[in-house]
Structure 1
């Protein structure tokens, strides 16, 4: 049985710019999610990634950004 799990990597793309709601427009994490990432367990990291996906989709929809032009 394989007991080694792949660590969930940070979604940071080194293009940090926070909007008025303190959401990074590079990785779409909130400021509190960015700060807490290093201490977050696997379950919390998965929830954060789900949040970023939802925020990215909402951003694309709002600003009519094509899927291939953003990560």
Structure 2
């Protein structure tokens, strides 16, 4: 009998890991540093709640900083 591997964890990471000092958000995924650090330990419901917030967080970063990526 072979074990089924666990399902991959949903993540907004796009491998652009630069934290904006002004907003405290990652310029790639818009998560806070503590959210990135604890992502694998959060429940699926906690991750889903954060994922739902991310589109609105983009506006917290000055547009000229986002133009770099």
Please state which band the TM-score falls in when normalised by the shorter chain. Answer: 0.5 to 0.7
Q: Could you list the per-position Cα deviations for residues 28-68 of structure 1 after superposition, in whole angstroms to 9, with x for gaps in the alignment?
A: 00001101110111110011112212112x158x528xxxx
Tell me the equivalent position of 2:31.
29
Aligned-residue CA RMSD (Å) = 2.5
Question: In the alignment, is the contact (CA less than 8 A) between 1:18 and 1:25 conserved in 2?
Answer: yes
Structure 1: runs of 5 or more not aligned: 1-5
Give, in whole Å, the separation in 1 of the partners of 2:44 and 2:15. Answer: 22
Instruction: Determine which structure has more spread, i.e. the larger CA radius of gyration.
Output: 2
Q: Post-superposition, which runs of at least 4 consecutive aligned residues in structure 1 deviate over 6 A?
A: none
Structure with greater helix share of residues: 1
TM-score normalised according to structure 2 size: 0.67
Question: In the alignment, is the contact (CA less than 8 A) between 1:29 and 1:51 conserved in 2?
Answer: no
Tell me the equivalent position of 2:18.
17
Structure 2: runs of 5 or more not aligned: 1-6
TM-score normalised according to structure 1 size: 0.66
Aligned length: 58
Which protein has greater RCO, CA pairs closer than 8 Å, 6+ apart? 2
